[in-house]
Amino acid sequence: MNAIIRKTARIIATGALCMSLIPVSLVLAQQPYSQGMVAPEFSLPNWEDGTMIRLSDFEGQILVIDFFAFWCPICAYSAAEVEEGVGDYYRERDGNPSGVPVRVLSVNIEEEDRAATDSFIQTHGLGLVGDDSELKVWNRFSETGSVPLFVVINGLAHAEGLEQWEILHAQPGYPGVELLREIIDGVRPRSGPFSALPDAGDGWRRSPWYGWVHNAHDPWVYSADHAWQYFLDDGSGKGWWVYDPVISWMWTHSEYYPLAFSVYRNTWMRFESRTQEGMRRFYDYALENPVLFDAGVAGDCLDWNDFRLTSLMVSPDMLRHIAGRDHPDPIMNPRFVTSDAASEAFMNDYDTVLGVAHEGVARAYPFHVLEQHKLVNDRIAGFPVAIAYAVDATGCPMCGSIAVVERRFNGRELTFGMSGISYAGFELLYDHETQSLWHQLSMRSIAGPLVGGVLERVPFSQKWYYRWVEESPDGEVLAPGADG
């Protein structure tokens, strides 16, 4: 099938037969990703050494992807021009006008004649090159089945008017350097309410309307009066939606403050002062009386259970503190027994198990053990995996909500625990190494140093225990009880 797609793309690239667009559209079974959509994580082997290049490697950058083939005459012209006019251009200027780094990733789609592709890469001076000869990524972006195909993706979190990993351009043909630069130059960090103020020292700034603030973790702002708050521009340039961990969402304005409208309380309030005990004194116009609020979370950052929550890709009011860390205790050093021993001690034929196999080693994870611990860190034939049994914040198991992932990200092995913080009803995992928070269902990091990263899925099966034993008679079964 890939040979058919590639042959048709070659016809399109040389302009020989326009009708070849039709069969290619039939071959591309999935709806391609297009401009305005958020690109999911993908990975490609590096053409030079085979190491994996992942979309998440370009966090904080603007990624320009150039899909090419050595036989494509337009590719020969566009590849060299983009390498110089985009890659070198922004490298010499330390990024776009807003300082956002720009990377060009050239991606080969041809599986035949590796020597010709090597020659193409050297002749046109291509830098970072990925190999998509199986067409897995190209198929997901291509609508017409042609090359060249250019894709531009925003990897900057908190970009002005853009989602992280939003597709800014995905069109067949060569758009030209000028259009690519116009798209790239339009990406800029979201401006906080205090980012334009001069630094008075150690990151502190004096706002004429909000007092002393520290916005090193914008859009989280640390206020001398209010502690940590999250700011969103309301679009007027002077008005702000403010999330306060104690008061919840408020709206205020640089010309109206210290007046603020509390959404949760449905009333206007006026900030008056901080008390000696550290409380905040507001006047509530609905009650016609002063009210006191705690100052939220003081210290270095907004946190629950000592997690840094300054780098968030979700709205903070969706987070809930539901328990302490690692409650219940995840399994860190799992103990396994033979199926015969398991059948005698704790397994019945119609118990449900989750099966994972790697390099000839088969293991079963009984659901009644997963329900108790929610999380298992394991290593199968040296391969690090995590098994997460997602439950909602009330502890009720959600049918089929299982995630099995490789416990490695960008080559670094991770060990997972339970955070005690929920997002949209599900408790988040965390990794011990970076303290990043991960959603159990998507296995995407939503907070912390690895925010936006996605872990690789591992295939698994779900079946009755007796069926698993029939298929894997020499397999191992996770035993209940303490780690061992």
In this structure, what DSSP letter does residue 87 have?
I
Write down all domains in the chain, each with its CATH number in brackets.
2-185 (3.40.30.10), 204-293 (no CATH), 316-478 (no CATH)
pLDDT at 15: 42
Strand, coil or helix: what is 7? helix
pLDDT in tens, 26-40: 344 456 788 889 998
Distances (CA, A) of 477 to 56, 350, 386, 470: 35, 15, 16, 13
- Kindly state the DSSP code that residue 415 receives in the 8-state scheme: -
Closest CA to 261 of 237, 234, 235, 279: 234
Angle between helices 177-185 and 73-82 (to 10 degrees): 40
* 362: three-class secondary structure by DSSP: strand
The conformation of residue 197, written as its DSSP 8-state character, comes to S
Give pLDDT, residue 349: 95
**Beta strand pairing status for 62-68 and 102-108?**
parallel
Residuewise pLDDT in 10s, the chain (484 residues): 445 444 444 544 444 322 223 233 334 445 678 888 999 889 999 999 999 999 999 998 999 999 999 999 999 999 999 999 999 999 999 999 988 999 999 999 999 999 999 999 999 999 999 999 999 899 889 877 788 999 999 998 778 888 889 999 998 889 999 999 999 999 988 767 787 788 888 878 899 999 999 876 667 888 889 888 888 888 787 889 998 877 888 999 999 999 999 987 889 999 999 877 777 889 989 888 888 777 655 443 445 677 766 556 666 667 788 888 998 889 999 999 999 999 999 999 999 999 999 999 999 999 999 988 989 999 999 999 999 987 544 444 444 478 899 999 988 999 999 998 888 778 899 999 988 899 887 888 888 778 778 899 999 998 999 999 999 999 999 999 756 4
For residue 78 the two structure tokens come to 């566009």
> Tell me, what's the pLDDT at 235?
76
Query: Would you state the pLDDT for residue 118?
Result: 96
Distance from C-alpha of 183 to C-alpha of 176, rounded to nearest angstrom: 11
- Predicted pLDDT of residue 300: 38
Residues 138/30, Cβ–Cβ less than 8 Å? no
Q: Are 128 and 106 in contact (CB under 8 A)?
A: yes
Which pLDDT belongs to residue 338?
96
Q: What is the pLDDT of residue 152?
A: 97
pTM above 0.75, yes or no: no
Phi and psi (nearest 5°) for 394? Answer: -90, -5
End-to-end Cα distance, the chain: 49
CA atoms within 13 A on the CB side of 91: 11
Q: How far apart are CA 59 and CA 450, in angstroms?
A: 9
Q: Which residue has the tokens 């550290």?
A: 278
Handedness of CA 333, 334, 338, 342 (dihedral sign): positive
Residues in the chain: 484
Q: 52 φ, ψ to 5°?
A: -80, 135
User: CB within 8 A of 10, min separation 6: which ones?
Assistant: 69, 71, 72
Euclidean distance between CA atoms 239 and 190, whole angstroms? 15
Q: How far apart are CA 229 and CA 296, in angstroms?
A: 9
Given this model, what pLDDT does residue 466 score?
Answer: 96
- C-alpha pair distances (Å), 9 with each of 110, 145, 247, 337: 10, 5, 57, 53
- Give me the pLDDT at residue 208, please: 92
**262 - beta bridge partners?**
250, 267
**CA-to-CA separations, 352 to 52, 111, 348, 371, 461, in angstroms, rounded:** 35, 43, 9, 11, 10
At residue 296, the pLDDT reads: 58
Dist CA 374 CA 389 (whole Å): 5
Query: What is the rounded CA–CA span in Å between residue 60 and residue 187?
Result: 11
Backbone phi, psi, residue 321, to 5°: -90, 110
Strand pairing class (361-366; 476-478): parallel
d(C-alpha 327, C-alpha 319), whole Å: 17
Check residue 195 and give its pLDDT.
76
